[in-house]
Amino acid sequence: MQWGVHLPHLGRNVSREVIMQWAQVLEELGYHSAWVSDHVCWPREIASKYPYTDDGSFAPAPDMGWLDPIGTQLFVAGCTTDLRLGFTVLILPYRQPVVTAKQLATLDVLSGGRLILGCGVGWMREEAEILGMPWDNRGARTDEQLQLFTTLFNEAVPSFDGQYYQLPEVGFEPKPIQKPVPFWIGGSSDAAMRRVARFGHGFHAAFQPLAQVKREFDMACAEAEKLGRNPDELTLSLRTFLDPAGLMEPDKSIAGSATQMCDRIGEMLEIGIDHVLLDPVARGGVAARLEAVQAVTGFEGVGLEDVGL
């Protein structure tokens, strides 16, 4: 099992110093990856329902800081050497695909091949409208973006003729170092599972109960088999809270005592989770959250070396 941590690139006091400290500490501790989330701006009143809370509410206040995800990972690439750099998830319908492909290729090259492209279709119509991007048919548009990325990343003289995006023969260099760039698809719909099967190298779930994660991943694997793909080659990743004080919902967390945490990790292993993205929660701000991340690697019973770091 591999372990990642969500970086504190959003909050009241985001800063260069905090991001650098976290990234370098994570690398020293032996974590596999560091992750960032994606929002650009959002209105004070949101009618769209956030899919990962029971009441559909979206917690961040309009005045909360939120650093750009690609820019943040380019910065982290420059102050680390081994930590893989992921998105949980990059909202493709918010972005012009060729420019995004260039940014992602740049990140992979400058990081020495450490990009994990976690991506999804998004949930907030209002934000897409603010950005001037179409919201209808966003699933089909996302599929075409993934096809276009694959073309740009691999073909010597790429071109593309899709329903939503067209591109004449162009020069697109340098290519990403990784062949292929790993696409970890987020979402929880049937369409998302078909997207995993068709384009993904992994399914990146977020905060769902384990039974739901298994059910959805089984669907993705079955769809992959229909396409002649080997489902054993798909990574199963879960973003979950690291919550020693038990502040969040227990079915969305690794929480409680060392024994309780170890039991929870065992349940994750049983359903085939290969990668866990820890989203730390603790009273006391970013320093307390980093202490929680450091502690889980050390105290008896939950050392990451004991569960396959």
Q: Where are the domains of the chain?
A: 2-307
Amino acid identity of residue 41, one-letter, is C
**108 three-class SS:** helix
For residue 307, the model assigns a pLDDT of 45
* Range list of H helices, 131-245: 138-154, 190-199, 210-226
DSSP of 138-169, one letter per residue? Answer: HHHHHHHHHHHHHHHHH-SS--EE-SS-EE-S
Q: Judge residue 177's burial from the number of C-beta atoms within 10 Å of its C-beta, 0-12 exposed, 13-18 middle, 19 or more buried.
A: middle
Nearest CA-CA partner of 235 in 268, 196, 194:
196
How far is the C-alpha of 6 from the C-alpha of 19, rounded, in Å?
11
Average pLDDT (248-270) is: 94
Nearest CA-CA partner of 296 in 268, 269, 266, 261:
261
Amino acid identity of residue 30, one-letter, is G
How far is the C-alpha of 262 from the C-alpha of 308, rounded, in Å?
12
Q: Which residues contact 295 (CB under 8 A, 6 or more apart)?
A: 244
How far is the C-alpha of 241 from the C-alpha of 58, rounded, in Å?
16
As a residue count, the chain comes to 309
Cis peptide before 180 (omega within 30 of 0): yes
Give pLDDT tens digits for 159-198. 999 999 999 999 999 999 999 999 999 999 999 999 999 9
- The answer to whether the CB of 275 falls within 8 A of the CB of 2 is yes
Give pLDDT tens digits for 49-72. 999 888 999 878 778 999 999 999
Q: How high is the mean pLDDT of the chain?
A: 94
Q: Which residues contact 93 (CB under 8 A, 6 or more apart)?
A: 121, 122, 128, 133, 134, 135, 138, 141, 142
Q: How confident is the model at residue 298 (pLDDT cuts 50, 70, 90)?
A: low
The answer to pTM > 0.85 is yes
- The answer to whether the CB of 296 falls within 8 A of the CB of 304 is yes
How far is the C-alpha of 93 from the C-alpha of 133, rounded, in Å?
7
Give pLDDT tens digits for 101-157. 999 999 999 999 999 999 999 999 999 999 999 999 999 999 999 999 999 999 999
**β-sheet bridge partners, residue 278:** 5, 240
Q: Which residues contact 232 (CB under 8 A, 6 or more apart)?
A: none
Residue 295: how many other CB atoms lie within 10 Å: 15
**44 three-class SS:** coil
For residue 262, the model assigns a pLDDT of 92
Q: Mention the CATH class of domain 2-307.
A: alpha beta
For residue 300, the model assigns a pLDDT of 38
Joined tokens for residue 125: 């119509």
- The answer to whether the CB of 305 falls within 8 A of the CB of 37 is no
Helix, strand and coil in the chain, % to nearest 5: 40, 20, 40
For residue 63, the model assigns a pLDDT of 80
